[in-house]
Amino acid sequence: MSRIAVSLTVNGEAARVEVEPREHLADLLRGTLLLTGTHIGCEHGVCGACTVEIDGVPARSCITHAGSCDGATVRTIEGFDDDEVMAALREAFSQEHALQCGYCTPGMLVTARDIVLRLPDADEARVREELAGNLCRCTGYRGIVRAVLHVLAARR
C-alpha cells in the first residue's frame, strides 16, 4: 500500500513519519509515536476518548486522517506538563473523584481545558453541554462537571 509522508509537531517535537492513507491520527500517536495516553473508545467519533489538541483546538484523533496532518501541531495528554490550566484540572479531577477507571480521562481533560479557556463564564448547564461529546461509563459525570466548575470558579 502506498504511504504518505507527514511532518508534524507533536508535543513540541518535530516528527517525520510515513503513514498509510487509511491510518488515523490516534493510531499514529499511539503506535508509531508511543503516546498511549490518547485512548480509543469507538473509532467513529462519538465517545471523545481520543480527543487531542490539533492546532490549538480539541479534535477527535480517531476520525482525523494521519495523512492530513502534514504541518499540524498536535498536543496530547502527555504534552501538557507545563500547562497551568491542565495542572489545575488534574488537581480538581482528583479532588472531585472525576475518574474511576481513567480510560476517558485524557480526552476529558483536553476537552475540559478548552472549556475553561474558551468559556470563562460557563455555568453548570453550559459545562455539561460542552462536555456532552465525551463519554464516561464509570463516574456518572458528577465529579467531572464539578471539577471543571471548580477550576472555572478559581480563575474568576
The residues of the shown chain that bind other proteins, judged by CB under 8 A, are 20, 22-23, 30, 35-44, 46-47, 49, 76-78, 81, 90, 93-95, 97, 99-106, 109, 124, 127-129, 131-145
Question: Residue 60 binds what, of other proteins, ligand FES, none (CB under 5 to 8 Å, by partner type)?
Answer: ligand FES
Helix or strand or coil: residue 56?
Answer: coil
CA 156 to chain centre: 24
The region of 5-13, 46-54, 72-80, 86-94 touching ligand FES under the rule CB under 6 A is 46-54
Which of 6, 136, 145, 147 is the binder for ligand FES (CB under 6 A)? 136
Can you tell me the distance from the alpha carbon of 8 to that of 92, in angstroms, rounded to the nearest whole number?
32
Report which residue type is found at 155. R
CA distance 76 to 107: 9
Tell me, residue by residue from 81 to 100, as one string, x for binding to ligand FES by CB under 6 A and - for no binding: ------------------xx
Span interacting with ligand FES, options 2-10, 13-21, 79-87, 131-139, rule CB under 6 A: 131-139
Residue 60 bridge partners (DSSP): 51
Q: Considering the complex, what minimum distance in angstroms separates the CB of residue 30 from ligand FES? A: 11
Tallying the residues shown for the chain, one arrives at 156
Residue 102's contacts (CB-CB under 8 Å, 6 or more residues apart) are: none
